[in-house]
Structure 1
Amino acid sequence: MTEARYKIIFDGEPMPGVALETVKDNLARLFKSDASRIESLFGGRSVALKRDLLEAEADKYLAALLKAGAKVRKEQDSSSGLSLLATDDHPDPAAPASAQDDYQTMDCPKCGHTQPKSAECQACGVIIEKYLARQAQLADEAVQASTTIGTVGEPASPYAPPQAQVGESLPEFGELKVFSLQGRIGRLRYLAWSTVMMLAFLPIGILIFSSSVLSETVAAIVTVLVSLAVIAVSVCMGVQRVHDMGWSGWLWLLNFVPVIGWVFSLLMLFMPGTAGANRYGPPPPPNSRAVKVLACLFLVPIMGIIAAIAIPAYQDYVMRAQLESPASFEAPAEMPAIQDQSAQ
């Protein structure tokens, strides 16, 4: 009994939560192909990336492509079975030679269109001999560059399986770099780093004040250097926080736009980052206890400022309410007697 064969089908869609550009980059790296050829896989139609596979082989390719972010599926390949129909290699001996020549057909190696034998595909217009030569050249380059998987002598195809194991797998968590515009940090780590920067600025402020007593020039130079350092670190932290939300780091400049800057600052404080990896890298490491404590310390002065503004406003409101109350204007019972005595 012939063992069942399977094929891997790709519909041109990424896995949920994976960016389309990330999938394209992963497939280009896996297939050792250029971006234009990978782009043709995302044309909105189903494409068979690999055919005539045993079930174990099909599962292997399926796992590799799913890990790369491509939404693929495994289907049974019915076309790989035996057939009693006449083919180019085994024509029907009962048919006349002229009839065999008339009905010889071929499949385009690029788009799969079935047509009578011809040097050019009627569907996509590719010159078949040039196309096969180019694919053979690409296959040879891929074999020399990496360890082959499967049979080296397979016919070259733009949808051939990867020539090496799924490339460099992304780490589970990203590396933390304070002085960098790359990578991601979450909400709590953004607050914690801001707290550390404020605490570090206290002794520096004392140093500046002390140097101003000795020399105003030295104090001015130290102030400029410290200000530049604080700005640079703030930009790095802000850009990494925006990356964590899946946005371009240039959006950090919205903080300088009136009104919009306030709203964007609140988004940076409270909006969660994207789950899993995004186009800016893997997620940041889990928050440690120290990060959580420092984040709470950052919120303490903010709560104090809010209380300092809210409590006097509430007291003023209560006082105005009492003054505007009709009961506050009622004269005491002894008032008429006092007025009579003053008149006498």
Structure 2
Amino acid sequence: MAEHFKIVFEGQLRTGVDLETARLNLAQLFKSDVSSMDRLFTGKPVTVKRGLTQDDAQRYMKALNDAGVEARIEPEQPVTWTLEEVTAPEPQKPAFEPAASPYAPPRASMAQDWPAVGELKVFTIQGRIGRLRYLAWSMVMVFALMAAFMVCLQVMAMSLTAGGLLATVLFIAFLVVSIQMGAQRLHDAGWSAWLLLLNLVPVIGGFFPFLMMAVPGNNGPNRYGPPQPPNTRSVKVLATLWVVFLALVFAGAMMGGLQKIQDQVEATTGDYEQTLPNDDDSDDAAQPVVPVDPADAGDSSDSEDDQ
């Protein structure tokens, strides 16, 4: 008889995974509501699947690990049970209920029935956006800012004060929208929006924006809400154009830097060559001086007078 295995879960969470995220992921894995997942986190062993082969048990374990929880595999006789048959013992109620403290903070239920996809909103720090949509929105925002800056220059030509005020308003609006988009991008990865402050840290702020563009988002719901809607064709096109544009800017900056270094090396080499002694001067200095006889010098002077 082939050996079968069962999956036993005692409520352990993986490192870095909070309880609410694990409940949401398990609800999506078992295709059930979030509230029914509470019976898995009583702290007592619960068999979530029986009658599995070795390979099926390993695949099931990987799915649970990806959901953010730890479980174990135990051998058993081949029996087929499902999650709906799992029953957890009812917790015993105390003999008396303690009175609620008036100083206790209010408590809200953490269980939420998230929709399949979230609603897209640009001007908010709530919600989530993926990598491609973040790139596409960033491209639109930058080119809109460039167009507004051209208008600002026209206003400055007429009134320096009005142009300066308009430039200040544009900068503040650009900063606010950037923070809102960056917060949604970090939420998609399950990170806090406070990590945007890393952009102000020297050295780290130089590569953290690229990390925001590269880090993948969570597949299912997390504590910041459900995933974003699927990317449209326009989002993919704009994201690709923005990546190409950034690559060209980076390549141009590298070429300009290399050209500047080359010019500096040539200028330094020219200055060094000017400090070296001239070859003609060296030859003249190397020729011996022939002494002149005074008599010959006098004859030469007389011949010149006769002429």
TM class by shorter chain equals 0.5 to 0.7
Query: Any conservation in 2 of the 1:191–1:298 contact (CA below 8 Å)?
Result: no
Q: Could you say which structure has the larger radius of gyration?
A: 2
Residue 292 of structure 1 corresponds to 240
Structure 1 segment 279-318 matched on structure 2, within 5 A:
279-280=223-224, 281-282=226-227, 285-286=230-231, 288-317=236-265
> What is the rounded CA distance, in whole Å, between the counterparts of 2:277 and 2:115 in structure 1?
81
C-alpha RMSD over aligned residues: 4.9
Q: How many residues align?
A: 239
Query: Any conservation in 2 of the 1:8–1:50 contact (CA below 8 Å)?
Result: yes
1:176 to 1:30, Cα distance in 2 relative to 1, 3 A? closer
Residue 148 of structure 2 corresponds to 204
Residues 218-271 of structure 1 deviation map (CA, whole Å, 9 limit, x = unaligned): 3344223322221111111221222233311111012122333224234224x3
AA partner of residue 304 (structure 1) = G
User: Aligned to 1:12, what secondary structure does the other structure show?
Assistant: strand
AA partner of residue 217 (structure 2) = T
> What is the rounded CA distance, in whole Å, between the counterparts of 1:342 and 1:190 in structure 2?
81
Q: Report the TM-score, using the length of structure 2 for normalisation.
A: 0.56
Query: Any conservation in 2 of the 1:181–1:239 contact (CA below 8 Å)?
Result: yes
AA partner of residue 33 (structure 2) = L
Select the residue among 116, 128, 148 that pairs with 1:170.
Answer: 116
1:128 to 1:227, Cα distance in 2 relative to 1, 3 A? closer
> What is the rounded CA distance, in whole Å, between the counterparts of 1:295 and 1:248 in structure 2?
25
| CA displacement at 1:25 relative to structure 2 | 4.9
Residue 46 of structure 1 corresponds to 45
Query: Any conservation in 1 of the 2:152–2:167 contact (CA below 8 Å)?
Result: yes
Select the residue among 247, 252, 273 that pairs with 2:216.
Answer: 273
| CA displacement at 1:169 relative to structure 2 | 5.6
Residue 30 of structure 1 corresponds to 33
State the percentage of identical aligned residues. 33
Structure 1 segment 156-305 matched on structure 2, within 5 A:
170-171=116-117, 174-269=118-213, 271-274=214-217, 276-277=219-220, 278-280=222-224, 281-282=226-227, 285-286=230-231, 288-305=236-253
User: Aligned to 2:33, what secondary structure does the other structure show?
Assistant: helix
Residue 301 of structure 2 corresponds to none
Residues 96-132 of structure 1 deviation map (CA, whole Å, 9 limit, x = unaligned): xxxxxxxxxxxx9437xxxxxxxxxxxxxx36999xx
Q: Report the TM-score, using the length of structure 1 for normalisation.
A: 0.51
> What is the rounded CA distance, in whole Å, between the counterparts of 1:110 and 1:290 in structure 2?
54
1:290 to 1:262, Cα distance in 2 relative to 1, 3 A? closer
Query: Any conservation in 2 of the 1:186–1:284 contact (CA below 8 Å)?
Result: no
1:303 to 1:343, Cα distance in 2 relative to 1, 3 A? farther
Select the residue among 90, 109, 126 that pairs with 1:110.
Answer: 90
| CA displacement at 1:14 relative to structure 2 | 6.4
> What is the rounded CA distance, in whole Å, between the counterparts of 1:300 and 1:19 in structure 2?
41
AA partner of residue 194 (structure 2) = W
1:245 to 1:322, Cα distance in 2 relative to 1, 3 A? farther
**Relative contact order (alpha carbons < 8 A, sep ≥ 6): 1 or 2 greater?**
2
Residue 92 of structure 1 corresponds to none
Structure 2 stretches of 5 or more lacking a match?
A: 1-5, 51-59, 82-87, 97-112, 291-307
